[in-house]
Amino acid sequence: MDPLEPVNNPVASATITSTPDGWHALSRFTTARIALGRAGGSWRTETLLDFRLAHALARDAVLKPFQWEILNEELVRAGFETFPLATEAADRQVFLKRPDLGRRLSPASRQQLEEKSGQWGRRDLAVLVSDGLSALAAERQVIPTLTALFPILLDAGWTIFPLFVIPFARVKLQDEVGAVLQARHSLILLGERPGLGSPDNLGAYFTWQPNAKKTDADRNCFSNIRPAGLPPAQAAEKLARLLIESARREVSGVALKETAPTLPPDF
């Protein structure tokens, strides 16, 4: 048999075509993975490769080192006063394996905060900035969010502590920081656990009268803060509106609901 002669193999020469879903037109309204189609009984190659890329980006976001010094410098250049602190998590691997250590300030940082608290006096809001589970989110979304948020709150008469830049922090840390400062509100901005397609997703959590007894039920949260989700400027407006309402009603968490779609025109 001539090795160059083509083999008549109907199975090998069969072509598996990609079959689109009937509701494919809806995919233009969302970035979610819908109407992906199929090739035979399997995903299309393009779909599989896109899924693997998204998974790799999510893993990279979780493991990416937080360049907090660079973010701190950028915040200062943007006009913010900052005050770096540290948690009990010594590095990223410890932070991922021991969530509890990210919920507490290191002894040295707590002492620094207690010493500065008397100099600053009581203020309305303590803002924490951290990498959480996505340093990429903090590096991309924190500055545009705060740049839009602070003018609204300052115009409303709020007093704000320096920004606390804290690597390896968990949401609960805002209670300790807020309690030490006796802040009326605490707000933490940190990277959320990346989704498949949203490795730069920032979360914002705030609490009225933060203290050690506060639970997740006492917090309000905005997540998916990023240009492709809830844009930073829009998130800042929503945060400002809800913070102001929280101060008026003296509650937060499940007792505080978002009702108005936008700030009043004459705010």
pLDDT at 3 over 50: no
Residue pair 72/165 in contact by the 8 Å Cβ criterion: yes
Give pTM, 2 decimals: 0.81
Q: How far apart (Å, rounded) are the C-alpha atoms in residues 12 and 185?
A: 67
Tell me the CA distances in angstroms from 102 to 30, 92, 163, 167, one per residue in order: 34, 10, 18, 9
Classify residue 52: in a domain, yes or no: no
Q: Is residue 22 part of a domain?
A: no
Domain count, the chain: 1
132 in the Ramachandran plot: left (φ > 0), alpha (ψ -120 to 50) or beta? left
Q: What pLDDT is recorded for position 44?
A: 81
Range of the domain at 175: 62-255
- Is residue 203 situated within a structural domain? yes
DSSP classification of residue 216: G
Q: What is the H or E stretch that residue 123 is in? A: none
Residue 106 included in any domain: yes
Bridge-based pairing of strands 202-208 and 18-19 is unpaired
Percent of the chain with pLDDT over 70: 88
Q: Does residue 219 fall inside a structural domain? A: yes
Summarised one tens digit per residue, pLDDT across range 51-67 is: 788 778 777 777 788 99
> What's the CATH number where 238 sits?
3.40.50.11240
